[in-house]
Structure 1
């Protein structure tokens, strides 16, 4: 394989973001656009003139039979990911899945198993795995420079409640969950991925704010080994976006503050901002996936296993919120 031929399944807002990324990768070729909404297809072709002659399909099953593709990027409502992903794998395609992977940990494990059976790559578009600040954080933590991680605080605020009102994201039949399962999925993932810690017990308090899905979530997890993490996912915020993550170790501290990074190494050390030149280069999940398929890397930046672990944690948080009791893994 010298280049990778892609089907893009779902060309709405996030789908067009992936199209933009794909068009910047010289080793990627878009051979089909799939969407049941003609308006979304028209919007995609209007935005990207180079896609004018690309074949379009209203049904992904027809596309799988007709398009000569190597891989698929799936960017549809969450409830459709499992069926579409399994069909793509069975058709011999590698799959890059938009977060939060698939609905439920059982489906996640089943899809991972199928990918192994058919010998195809399966990855999740958790872009923080390819972003410089978070790549730096993970390497710092994994190197042991901060010592044993003892406490983590992760905070995300977004005007998600109002921004998604009336859309499929607030329809539980399509979204399979609210803010915790959507943007909040990134926040859960980045802590698990950066630290490698394994949850032992989960306690959560969640408010739907009058909708059919979770909006505001306070999640506390105790990990194996004794570390504690608090996740605050605020979907009813008035601001567009803010994200903070703090890692406190026995020998140091690292603070991510909405794109900037501060680190203190040693006891009583002052926090020092990490200059941009020291951060790993930021890439896109699409670039990473193309490199994986062309043999330039041995593992996806965000493996399907990451999606499975986030699904398990999300399910436990929902269960705890309903029962009012901690859930043990």
Structure 2
């Protein structure tokens, strides 16, 4: 088969560490072009991947024959650039959160349908081995009825990871829209829906800016209720200064599942009869040193194009995770529990 011609728009850290290396290692991909408003950065990346460099994504879309685009830009640009790429006939892999409003997300989904193109959102936590194994155990009835859960995603902050360091767009409300709950919380919002095979119907939230000099949240805590009546908590933070925490614990009738909660065993199952089963699986993706193993997102996206299958995290799935975050924002503003749209 002919290789899929790919361009990456935005060459900051997520593109540099995840998208570009994973495209480069996929034999079915040719990296044709890269785009960034910082000329020196895009020139260096273009030379590394033998691609054409652009500083204007509209020019790239007009001049190049591209099959698929990765959108690795600040959050406020996700929707307009994704829609432009879809309208130009490209399949799109967009970073999370997919948009800054439900209207934007719906417009992205509509653009994908109108142009008969794939739209995938980069929620990489679904591809983590412990998460997939936990979902399988729950689906098989191994855990019985689910009673509760707690899930968290926190690290020391995006300045350690972002290309701009402390001047990162992550801290600027006009570009980021929201802080830790958009950067990290939306991952766990997607994950808990996926693993439990259940929809979040109600959300209450508190947010604070206590650890960073920023005008977005750096600590967020949600209380969530699902369609099946399961209640649990979600925490997202840029204030876990000593180490990253990416753990999820699910409390069930027959067992407790501990995901990414043990330094050696990525899944520990504690049964009510006293048995403990420890699974030593592939490690979770991390921003810490040595945490850059493949995310499987790129390979899945490319497979969905070449095999003409629906991506696991399509626009509708991405919007459901975004809805939880938007509900949390409304909860903070109104100091009430929010019921989510179906």
Taking structure 2 as the reference length, the TM-score comes to 0.88
Instruction: Verify the 8 A CA contact 2:185 2:234 in the aligned structure 1.
Output: no
Q: How far does residue 317 in structure 1 lie from its aligned partner after superposition?
A: 0.7
Q: How far does residue 162 in structure 1 lie from its aligned partner after superposition?
A: 5.7
Q: How far does residue 256 in structure 1 lie from its aligned partner after superposition?
A: 0.7
Instruction: Verify the 8 A CA contact 2:42 2:55 in the aligned structure 1.
Output: no
Instruction: Verify the 8 A CA contact 1:156 1:187 in the aligned structure 2.
Output: yes
Q: Which structure 2 residues correspond to residues 221-260 of structure 1 after superposition, within 5 A?
A: 221-258=224-261, 260=266
Moved over 6 A (4+): none
SS at match of 2:203: strand
Residue number in structure 2 paired with 1:27: 28
Query: Does structure 1 residue 102 correspond to structure 2 residue 99?
Result: yes
Residue number in structure 2 paired with 1:273: 278
SS at match of 1:248: strand
Paired residues in the alignment total 321
Residue number in structure 2 paired with 1:177: 178
**Residue in structure 1 matching 2:326, options 289, 312, 315:** 315
Q: Take 1:92 and 1:162, find their aligned partners in 2: how far apart are those partners?
A: 35
Q: Which sits farther off after the overlay, 184-193 or 84-93?
A: 184-193
SS at match of 1:305: helix
**Residue in structure 1 matching 2:218, options 202, 215, 219:** 215
Q: How far does residue 320 in structure 1 lie from its aligned partner after superposition?
A: 1.0
Instruction: Verify the 8 A CA contact 2:35 2:57 in the aligned structure 1.
Output: yes
Task: Summarize deviations over 1:16-51 as a string: whole Å, max 9, x none.
Answer: 1211111000000111111111122134246x3xx2
Residue number in structure 1 paired with 2:296: 284
Instruction: Verify the 8 A CA contact 1:204 1:219 in the aligned structure 2.
Output: yes
Q: Take 1:224 and 1:106, find their aligned partners in 2: how far apart are those partners?
A: 24
Task: Summarize deviations over 1:128-170 as a string: whole Å, max 9, x none.
Answer: 2222121112222222221221101112221117646321101
Instruction: Verify the 8 A CA contact 2:130 2:260 in the aligned structure 1.
Output: no
Q: Take 2:138 and 2:24, find their aligned partners in 1: how far apart are those partners?
A: 34
Q: Take 2:257 and 2:45, find their aligned partners in 1: how far apart are those partners?
A: 40
Residue number in structure 2 paired with 1:41: 42
Residue number in structure 2 paired with 1:202: 203
Q: Take 2:294 and 2:46, find their aligned partners in 1: how far apart are those partners?
A: 27
Task: Summarize deviations over 1:188-245 as a string: whole Å, max 9, x none.
Answer: 2111111122222211111022631011111001112210010122222212412110
Q: Take 2:67 and 2:158, find their aligned partners in 1: how far apart are those partners?
A: 37
Q: Please provide the CA RMSD for this pair.
A: 2.1
